[in-house]
Structure 1
């Protein structure tokens, strides 16, 4: 018995000694690591601060050059030869001050690049670029997301500035670029140690350029937005500046990373310094102290050591189990993704998000059949036929479909299922109604004119192709009409663009009132409209319709207690007599419209191969 007490006392004493040694070593090592981390963080922050200031100054220099060009464009008359020459001289002058850029260019309000390109070069449009639309909406410097140029085929960013007329209306943009290679050359000169990296990201966190000492340039990742979870959390807490320690998402190397927003824009600079550089001395200290502790621990009785290690392993396991249980609870009982466990398509368990998505109370769905969440028996049966064989075969199923809210309306759901057993399955459901509505709205905007709501040129061409194919099968004729308003510019200049838009909307309404439901009216832009008259028997039928159109268009239009009037010149080409493809018929209708203009306006002209024999009627 005394021996057992002695053994216990010796073991307890040894454990106490070991704990004291370990605690002292841990405190010392923690203090040493924290000191090295502070040094690493300060080094990274100093580098990123200096780099952000340099880039901010460079962008300011570019913006000053664009502002100078914008003032020259505002002062010069671009419709005159000497005005255009003055604008080109200004571009050349400012370009000589900016050797880091490939070119400086100017685009008009339609996004067509007019200045800063080689003579005779094909027209280039930037109207679909985000920076063009942003500059159109506001004044000030605009910095784009990383893009690949259309004139100079390089990756980089565009710096743009709005141009405006004397009345403040949008007149286009002046823009230049900084290539990814330009930033890369600057980053290569930074002292980053043996594993450092520096990156520049856009406001949307897309990669503009990145240089790593280990891997060099990261061209394949330009334009992507792959970032670590720690970076996401830090940017959410402080989007302006900060630092963190985590493995880099692009290459898995652990670094101390500091970031800072570039002054005056949304760009952010990231500088990461590898831990293997800053912790090399600390790791040697860890190794030495570990060796000393190992010698001390080796003198302790095996039973005490095993007991200590066993208890330590059990504590770690309990914490990990608790952590996993907490993570699982948070994941399953979230507010976004609905989840349910089913047995023979009856709900055994569900989370709160499922109640929220479908509008049910917490107690209503448990024990209920899934049929009540489907729009009808067909969709319910269809998912049953498709999903459960796949669950048995591959264990997974996914589909997007419309399901039923408790209030009766349909919602779009992303449905994912996984097999648990032959009779049980686990399902997740995400409400994607807003995404589907946004897609439908975007599709409508892409195919319709924003002012009148009529089909645009793209949708007109699609419908014309279909109508011509149908007419060929039916052996019928199709009239393609090109209409240009007479007198519209005077109304627009006298009363402003809002009045002009009101006239365009009224004309569109009148054109729709003159045609049949199977015909098409479109707006091509400006004061140009186009019509498709389908299923016609002869040219006289087209003539009658277009005479109604002329009469309707020429009626006075009431605008804010005043009346204005416009007319129309219309050109017509009839298929298959004048052509059997959309491009030919549209081009010949356009030619006939210009013939109507030259003949005195306010009339209809039928295309003819011999211009002097073009049929016209006022």
Structure 2
């Protein structure tokens, strides 16, 4: 279903109003969350600081107690258990600690207000004992498990120093983390209703000093960012639905321990949750009102546009529909209406001109089609996919198929795969933008040759960046080819004797040389000169000389094969090319036959004229033959034959001659 622009704009405006209302609500909730979170953190941090300062005070008081007692001992270590018990029970220290004990310089616990058990205890490996020996001051231990009671404890020890500076022992106090001393009460102290505390030791290995879960006492804790074991997984939109607990931390000055307070999110942000509920209700109501108002306003403002649309739709069938438009509006829609009316008026004028042009174009196309159809040549147009778009009637006559059936057919399907493969290189060049002209030939029924000339003219797109098709013109040039060959053959014949002239001889000799070099087909070249021909011309006239040349030509033709070539090079000079020879004697036999044929005198009218001929023979080499070389050798053999008395032949490379 198609939704109108007016409906889409009204819907879009409503959605924007609703979205802005929601964004404003979300922004208010975010700011409220941020302000409330800062206030709660400030209040909770103040409370944690107060509790931490109280703990510092308690540790400092007990440290000062230990220092005063050690000072009163004046460096004397108890000499007996009764003496030690008297000292321990006479001091106010038991009220501050769960039990008291003395440690000798070797770390043995000699006296304690708590039972020691049968096995003597040694604490020399404890970190607090070693630290007290080093600092000679009160040391507060990290939580450790007692070796006698196996309960988590915190020990505070102070060294007893003799007058000579020696440590003669230590006085220590123990705080049982499972008893309700000032540390144990931290586990049950509440911050708010459900909030709680925990205490984490410092140093390279953080431990829980106090935790509401007694099983965690003395267990490993996070060195930084400790949350009392609470899983902190804030949501992506924490300000909408707070999920992370509110955590505050403070470092004790006396021990370096960290006091951590945790208030669950449900309690910490309870006021914010109630406010969120009220704001959601308000946001929904405001968004609904804003959306409806935006929808109605947009619908009202765009009503003229709907009327303009109706006019535009009717203009498809009614060119004068624009005349019903109200053009007096002074807003954008009025401007569009006036522009549309002006456009339609101009368009009507242009359509009239276009219809006249289309009629003229169709008439012109029909004339061009008639011209192309009356041409004997094949005229066609191929698109980029090598499919026919246009074919003239010559295609129907040539292939016996209607031109309409050929349109859309691939050139391969019409011509066949073999012909297509022959033409493909030319097609590729034409589609690359090159104008191609070439000739082809094929054997037709009856043994004749059909010659055609093809012209491929590429057609470019409007900006001349791509070839979009090819114009094809194919015409039969068989008759032209035959006439050219006939004329070419005439240029290679001697007009007097009817045999080949020098041009024909040069072509035939070049072919024989190539065959000898490439195909190893041996051949022979014979140069012939009529003896005393100039005397015949001077004595009996040129008519007699011409008759003699014609007679001599016929005699040579009678002595050679039809595949051999005889040529008149000029005057009385002749040449013979004999190819495919199997033995030199085959050539000398031809020379003897010619000598024998010319022994009889030539009769011209009443004149009897003796004849004679000198012959020079050159045989081709197995390889590396050249035209100039074999001509030179045949000419040299001819010269030697003349020197040895005429009317004989000489073979190149053979010193003898034969008559």
How does the TM-score come out when normalised to structure 2?
Answer: 0.38
Which structure's CA Rg is the greater one?
A: 2
How does the TM-score come out when normalised to structure 1?
Answer: 0.40
